[in-house]
Amino acid sequence: MEPIWKDYYVSLGTADGVLYRIRLDDAAGEIIYQGKAYQRPDTLTTEIRINDVCADYFSGVVLNLTQATLSSMSLPLTFYVEYYDEANETWTAADTVQFLDDWSYDRSYDAATMGLSFPINGRIDVRMWIPYTAVGASQVSMEIHYKDGTTATVIVPIAISADFSSDFNADFARHTTAAGSGTAVFNLTAWTDVDYVVIGNARYQVVTDCGRYALYYKNAYGGYDAFLLDGICRRTDVLERGNVDVEYDNRSVQNRGVRNYINEYKQSWVLNTGLLSDDAGLLSDDAGLMMHHLLNSTDVYLYDIDSGEMTPVVITDTETEYKTFKTSGRQPVQYAITVEVAQKFARR
């Protein structure tokens, strides 16, 4: 499996002016791109770079949340590159590649050993769901550590499937975000007096009634994580008013000179993270150094813990600052995140 950010080249042989195409999955799969490639000057072979084309296709298979319904294409994705053999008048296989939806630009990253989940503050409300994205696994285990010192193990199977129901929380467990990976979801409400849980390379401290809102998001490596917001969260509506001039007549209330016929508004939120500690959910990193996983994400959801409502949002902040306790003058670190609900509303 290759990260989608990394340049991936395919050789089409020694002929010049070669027709080629990129297919999805199998011999009857969808053709996502077809073109003609030429040799670069002073070269003897014809090569193409395919990761940009495949990245464009990936952008169409991210989570789609329409009201309460989650839908997705069948994943994982395998791309087949073929070129046209004019002598035999047949399409011939050139290469096959699977891409991870990894935009980390991290050459040292190994999905098989490092996993795909990178929680930031390592805190989870007992009423929340815990997502964990694994690579090439059929099941994911969670170790439950109780406050009395005892432990238990819970196993959740990963069913890589494109069939979804109308329940976002349940469907989260069946969503696959990259080649050979799947996301398992753990529900903590069945257990009481839990101190913390460990899933793979992630550790979550379990808290009770700590906050109302949380964020679910796709991190830089293509996995899904949860972030409990301990700070104050405020909603604001940004209005665009549509007015029209009408005839003024003081004998009629309706003919008042200006009529407001439509108000379009966007719901925006300022979400405060609360104080971040030096330890992230991975224990080996400062939480502030991992905020880029959230702030740079293109796939973010605001979760209302009290109502259970999951809303797709867009982060509007244009800067990611890497704060730590030491670099902030040994002062507590926190972030204010501005998001907009990914839908425009109107009143007529």
Q: 95 and 122 in one domain?
A: no
Tokens of 318: 């244009």
List the structure tokens of 34. 């077809």
Q: Last residue of some domain: 100, 121, 136?
A: 100
| Residue type, position 4, single letter | I
Residue 135 lies in a domain: yes
Q: How many domains does the chain have?
A: 2
- Rounded to two decimals, what is the model's pTM? 0.77
Under DSSP, the state recorded for 147 is T
If asked whether residues 135 and 86 sit together in one domain, one would say no
CATH number, position 61 = 2.60.40
Strands 31-37 and 233-248: unpaired
Q: Are residues 195 and 79 in the same domain?
A: no
Examine residue 25 and state whether it is found in any structural domain, yes or no.
Answer: yes
Task: Judge whether 307 lies within some domain.
Answer: yes
Amino acid at 293: H
Nearby residues of 150 by Cβ (< 8 Å), 6 or more positions away: none
Examine the domain organization and report whether 218 and 69 are in the same domain. Answer: no
Same domain, 43 and 117: no
pLDDT tens track for 161-171: 444 444 544 54
Cα separations in angstroms, 58 against 77, 78, 155, 248, 282: 9, 11, 30, 55, 28
Q: Is residue 323 part of a domain?
A: yes
Helix, strand, coil percent content, the chain, rounded in steps of 5: 10, 45, 45
DSSP 44-103: SS-EEE-HHHHHHHHTTSS-EEETTEEE----S-EEEEEEEETTTTEEEEEEEEEEE---
pLDDT of residue 174: 43
Of the residues 42, 72, 100, which one is the last residue of a structural domain? 100
Give me the pLDDT at residue 173, please: 45
Same domain membership, residue 200 and residue 126: yes
Nearest CA-CA partner of 223 in 201, 198, 204: 201
Return per-residue pLDDT of the chain as tens, 348 residues. 788 899 999 999 998 999 999 998 666 678 889 999 999 988 899 999 999 888 887 665 544 433 333 334 444 578 999 999 988 889 999 999 988 888 889 888 887 777 778 888 888 998 888 888 777 667 788 899 999 999 999 887 765 444 444 454 454 444 433 333 566 778 788 788 999 999 888 889 898 877 889 998 888 988 888 899 988 889 888 888 888 888 877 777 777 778 888 888 888 999 998 887 665 555 445 677 788 899 999 888 898 988 888 888 999 988 777 777 666 666 677 888 999 988 888 888
Give yes or no: residues 184 and 315 share one domain. Answer: yes
Domain hosting 134: range is 112-234+267-347
The predicted structure's pLDDT at residue 26 = 60
Rg (CA), the chain: 25
Contacts of 143 by beta carbon, 8 Å cutoff, 6+ apart: 151, 152, 153, 197, 198, 199
- Phi/psi for 108 (5° steps) reads -90, -5
- Asked if residue 60 and residue 17 are part of one domain, the reply reads yes
How many residues are listed for the chain in this entry? Answer: 348
80 and 131 together in one domain: no
Residue 262 forms part of a structural domain: no
**Same-domain check for residues 138 and 29:** no
Last residue of a domain, one of 100, 134, 161: 100
Q: Does residue 261 lie within any of the structural domains?
A: no
Whether residues 127 and 200 fall in one domain = yes
Is the same domain home to 182 and 131?
A: yes
Residue at 245 is within a domain: no
Tokens, residue 195: 């101190």
